[in-house]
Amino acid sequence: MGDRNKRPVILLKVPSSDDYYGSALRSHNLDPIFITPSHFVFKNLKQLQAKLLEPHKYAGIIFASPRCVQAVNEALGKTPLPSCWRALHNYSLGKNTHSAAWLTFQNLSTLGDHAVNANNLCDLIVETFGPKRDLPLLMPCGNGVGQTLRLRLVAQGFRVDACEVYESRSHPDFVNQMRHALKFKRMETIVFFGPSSVRSSLEFFGNYNVSLKDRKLIAVGSGTRKAMEESGMQANGVVDAADVDHLINIIKT
């Protein structure tokens, strides 16, 4: 499972052929071990489809993640997004989600490409929406995704129709891969990517009596840190997803 002369580090994220985390860690004498913590399952797509076919009942749509875009596309099947949505107040959280909506729905324009979190997007919606808030915003979301944004918008007087259309489940290979990786005596660092990695790990740690006392636990992103804190796990460091140098520094100190 990698170079025995390098210090192993578990990265709880989906591996990819061009993952810059892997190349950066290997260049610093670290041995990254990628373990996919969870996979996503769509649900309630029929209900979502019915809502999407009635744009006149909504003020607009909010895409909280690229997977929300994918869920809408799955719900529509071979049917294009009704054109009436284009004239409404449509938002996306972050550049990746914005790009996904643009490409998937034939150049659907959304605001929010510069928003980095739910608070940023909420502020943008408040600034751009206008005073009339009679109709709800449709917000397809996942379990554990979109709650902060929904609560903030409701507090600002918006109506939000949150439709849970996907959920995360532990990956079927997660337990075996974690058990194998933790056999390394030098396996002292675990890096968590996203709340789903925290949920899968918490269940694993409990079922197999894994001690975290002498391990370094690192959260990538504030949402991951919050999920760790709520689960009773203390993060030894928090890094931004784009700051791999900071991640390496925390691992090596």
> Residue 93: is its pLDDT beyond 60?
yes
Residue 131 resides in a domain = yes
What type of residue is 59? A
Tell me the torsion sign for CA atoms 48, 85, 119, 37: positive
144 and 248, same domain (yes or no):
no
How many whole angstroms separate alpha carbon 193 and alpha carbon 223?
9
Residue 2 resides in a domain = no
134 and 97, same domain (yes or no):
yes
Structure confidence by residue, pLDDT tens digits, 36-72? 999 889 999 999 999 999 999 999 999 998 999 999 9
Structure confidence by residue, pLDDT tens digits, 95-139? 989 999 999 999 999 999 999 888 899 999 999 998 888 999 999
**Residue positions counted in the chain:** 253
57 and 148, same domain (yes or no):
yes
120 and 196, same domain (yes or no):
no
- Of the pLDDT bands very low, low, confident and very high (cuts 50, 70, 90), residue 19 is confident
How many whole angstroms separate alpha carbon 31 and alpha carbon 25?
7
What does the pLDDT read at residue 9? Answer: 95
Sole residue written with tokens 């990695």: 197
100 and 216, same domain (yes or no):
no
Tell which of 100, 135, 168 closes a domain.
168
65 and 156, same domain (yes or no):
yes
What does the pLDDT read at residue 185? Answer: 67
The string of DSSP codes covering 205-234 is HHHTT---TT-EEEEESHHHHHHHHHTTPP
How many whole angstroms separate alpha carbon 92 and alpha carbon 101?
8
What does the pLDDT read at residue 240? Answer: 87
Task: Copy the structure tokens of residue 183.
Answer: 């056999």
160 and 207, same domain (yes or no):
no
Residue 147 resides in a domain = yes
11 and 100, same domain (yes or no):
no
What's the distance, Cα to Cα, between the start and end of the chain in Å?
24
114 and 61, same domain (yes or no):
yes
SS3 content of the chain, % helix, strand, coil (to 5): 40, 20, 40
Using alpha carbons only, how large is the chain's radius of gyration in Å? 20
Residue 1 resides in a domain = no
Domain containing residue 18: CATH number: 3.40.50.10090
Tally Cβ neighbours within 10 Å of residue 127. 9
What does the pLDDT read at residue 12? Answer: 96
Residue 91 resides in a domain = yes
51 and 161, same domain (yes or no):
yes
140 and 211, same domain (yes or no):
no
How many whole angstroms separate alpha carbon 60 and alpha carbon 188?
47
Q: Show the domain range for 116.
A: 41-168
Structure confidence by residue, pLDDT tens digits, 216-245? 999 998 889 989 999 999 999 999 877 899
Task: Copy the structure tokens of residue 193.
Answer: 């990517």
62 and 127, same domain (yes or no):
yes
Percent of the chain exceeding pLDDT 70 equals: 96
Task: Copy the structure tokens of residue 162.
Answer: 């949150």
pTM above 0.85, yes or no: no
Residue 12 resides in a domain = yes
Tell which of 138, 168, 198 closes a domain.
168
Tell which of 117, 138, 168 closes a domain.
168
Count of structural domains within the chain: 2
What does the pLDDT read at residue 29? Answer: 93
